[in-house]
Structure 1
């Protein structure tokens, strides 16, 4: 007698869906406890995220950043590394984008600036991840500790640069001058407008397509290349990988470079796509939310896209909910997000055994 294998779709789809539903059930109880109708609240949340063109645009705009940071966490996690430095890597990636735009916007066209800015975001984000990677690979420093520390260093560095070097003269707030329009990432509604297609006025821009391209590239790298095989082998069993001749230190470093570069792409969306100037705190916690997106998406690009859209919907729909029902403050929306993370991450195994048992049965050899 042998035990039947659990279908892949159970672990990839069914269990995460049940966990999310449980999170929303508990969220409904929280809303009920403050004296509001949870069904009405859910209606406002869904309508705000998907009920009209502009809302969908904002949902996908938020999701774009979360796809980048979710992929960054996923790539590192596949190699057995827990990169919690996405926030700092995104910050420094944005610095790279801003510096290139400030340097080139007066002399170069968009088609020259855009690829250089994308490359700059990747290089700056990767460079910020390199030092923790080197310390882990060569000195044994734990990647979790060093990446967390580098988030704070990145924040302090940005404050220093913005206040003392990059602030526009005569401006009180620590922000650079506005880029020339040839250094702006085109909004998708502007691209569709000439064809008579109205998708609503939102910050959604071409960077969303870059995020989808990154998903395809990460999928190809991890599951269809020799380097991806090395990455997964190190993440599964580092000792066996070393015995097989894989250089674990080298894998650790290049994986973290890719992870940091992916997080750096947040700067393309925020600096070049939306704000059009360098400023402080543009990362807005996307680096940390990306950890939950990767966990919920089972570290697979398709799952990460779906999880990112869910969190984007919570961001956008939560803003609509807080506006329509003032008693439900933005802090309550954060509680809902936290419950989704709790049930999808920390409590993901709570019902896993029982659900898997429904799909397994003894098989006669």
Structure 2
């Protein structure tokens, strides 16, 4: 007789904490250990630009893990404005808890990994919040958080109160080097003394936070002036070229894989940037660059973008893009596997679910 599956629900305390990163890292390790898994995201919220609404994270993880169709649990609905409005008007009356319960009738895998909503509250309108999903499926929960605010510990303590024994543990993700000691020596013991196991403390990775030039083009509504064939380059940092050229060169040499934002009339800064580790030049002020700059950019294969925004607005948009980047590039997948292998407590996971290791 087939065994009923265990359920692991991966949630977060706030959006863009790294749920997909942790999901992928866990799933990859389990596959490597010969443990059969299924994957799903009951509540979709990352639409792909296709005629059939699909969650982009589901599509990416399915393809990356090479999961067969019978190892995918269905996304029950896409959380978009139309769905919310229909629910508020009483036109959408589907019992999604009943739909979710049908997951329990599918048997076979050792572990079903489900990606939960972005917060503990998201999905409440449709009765698919993280605590509700955990209760219906009797799932164990791993919460992912980032120490990017002073109240992330409060969020974890509150989550423990709501989830109780369902909370298997937490992962503190994207920890800056300056916070590493505090998180390890103060935060971890504090949480574990309150029965909140810390399963991993993952250091900040400039690669994981990086974005493609193509994504910057999209977010900035930029015009590509040259090398449209190199929009796959990864940008890890942002530099503003507003200083004198000698100071700029010293600064540029300390930074790698950067986007340089500068005025379209700053030919000296633009040429200096192209001699260092620049992956993208972003020109503001609606001024066309000198032909010399474009020729050099062509030679060194660096895309040059022109934007209609001023420098401050451009920088704000790029900063937001860095903070909300998704894990959709193969080079990032390899980085995730490496980080998880060295910094995540898989033995705790194997022991809890009685999986072979």
Larger % of strand: which?
Answer: 2
Same fold (TM over 0.5): no
Larger radius of gyration between Structure 1 and Structure 2: 2
TM-score band by shorter chain is under 0.3
Give TM-score scaled by structure 2 length: 0.24
